[in-house]
């Protein structure tokens, strides 16, 4: 059972998400929060598997809440999906940098949202590849890069470096396997090993590491 916490200041949005989640087999709503402060408190109390986090909320916003949640060792197993109304929300890249597992637009189709929740709960994929590729490029190019390689970058094999670069392009494991002419299982292994060596929570942080280190262009 995947337990999901909903954090959004709009009553109708929370109601719609709760109805969708509670009607899906294998999922349950773990609670609701109307702002970032309440979201952090609920996360610590309920220990949900996934949090659907709005960015623009009164008081403590979703970005600050995401940072507090992902930096809490007690919530290491909790994943955050950032929800946004606008494709050009300036906070998306910061949310990823602070540990969010990905983001979705609020007009995402219900079936795609449910699939994204499952993927993030499994730690398996950065969300919405077609949207991710476009938005990550936009926001990453807008943020100054340090050019300083991640200290553990030298621990990656050449194939793992290739894999991280492809993850940064928004490719799924199946697409990486096709590009590198390897099996999907081998692609998953390379991604998993790279995450372990770099200390990444998920694929989203691999993207951040790749761009900040100059591995991805």
Q: What is the pLDDT of residue 142?
A: 58
Contacts of 105 (CB under 8 A, 6+ apart): 83, 84, 85, 87, 128, 131
Q: What is the pLDDT of residue 13?
A: 94
- Residue 211 parent element (H or E): helix 203-212
d(C-alpha 21, C-alpha 107), whole Å: 16
Q: What is the pLDDT of residue 174?
A: 87
Q: What is the pLDDT of residue 146?
A: 55
Q: What is the pLDDT of residue 216?
A: 72
The three-class DSSP label of residue 54 is: strand
Q: What is the pLDDT of residue 126?
A: 53
The three-class DSSP label of residue 47 is: coil
Q: What is the pLDDT of residue 203?
A: 76
Q: What is the pLDDT of residue 208?
A: 75
Q: What is the pLDDT of residue 211?
A: 76
Q: Which two tokens stand for residue 18?
A: 């709760």
d(C-alpha 124, C-alpha 138), whole Å: 23
DSSP labels, 86-153: -TT-TTHHHHHHTT--EEEETT--HHHHHHHHHHHHTT---S-HHHHHHHHHHHHHHSPP--PPPTTG
Rounded to two decimals, what is the model's pTM? Answer: 0.71
d(C-alpha 150, C-alpha 196), whole Å: 13
Q: What is the pLDDT of residue 2?
A: 96
Q: What is the pLDDT of residue 147?
A: 57
Question: Do the Cβ atoms of 36 and 64 come closer than 8 Å?
Answer: yes
d(C-alpha 156, C-alpha 212), whole Å: 16
Q: What is the pLDDT of residue 37?
A: 96
Q: Which two tokens stand for residue 77?
A: 């197993």
Q: What is the pLDDT along the chain (217 residues), one digit of tens a residue?
A: 999 999 999 999 999 999 999 999 999 999 999 999 999 999 999 999 999 999 889 989 998 999 999 999 999 899 999 887 765 556 666 777 778 887 788 888 899 899 889 988 887 655 555 555 555 556 555 555 555 667 788 899 999 999 998 988 878 888 899 999 999 999 999 999 998 898 887 777 787 788 777 777 6
Q: What is the pLDDT of residue 100?
A: 85
């Amino acid at each position: 059972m995947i337990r999901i916490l909903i954090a959004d200041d709009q009553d109708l949005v929370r109601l719609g998400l709760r109805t969708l989640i509670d009607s899906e087999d294998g999922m349950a709503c773990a609670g609701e929060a109307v702002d970032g402060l309440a979201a952090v408190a609920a996360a610590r109390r309920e220990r949900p598997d996934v949090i659907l986090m709005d960015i623009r909320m009164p008081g403590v916003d979703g970005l600050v809440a995401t940072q507090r949640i992902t930096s809490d060792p007690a919530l290491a197993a909790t994943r955050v999906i950032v929800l946004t109304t606008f494709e050009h929300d300036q906070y998306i890249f910061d949310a990823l940098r602070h540990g969010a597992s990905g983001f979705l637009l609020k007009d995402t189709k219900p079936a795609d949202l449910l699939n994204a929740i499952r993927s993030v709960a499994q730690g398996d994929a950065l969300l919405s590849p077609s949207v991710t590729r476009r938005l990550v490029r936009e926001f990453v190019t807008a943020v100054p890069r340090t050019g300083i390689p991640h200290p553990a970058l030298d621990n990656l094999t050449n194939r793992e470096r290739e894999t991280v670069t492809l993850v940064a392009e928004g490719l799924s494991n199946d697409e990486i396997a096709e590009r590198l002419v390897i099996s999907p299982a081998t692609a998953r292994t390379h991604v998993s090993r790279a995450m372990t060596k770099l200390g990444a929570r998920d694929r989203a942080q691999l993207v951040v590491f790749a761009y900040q280190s100059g591995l991805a262009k």
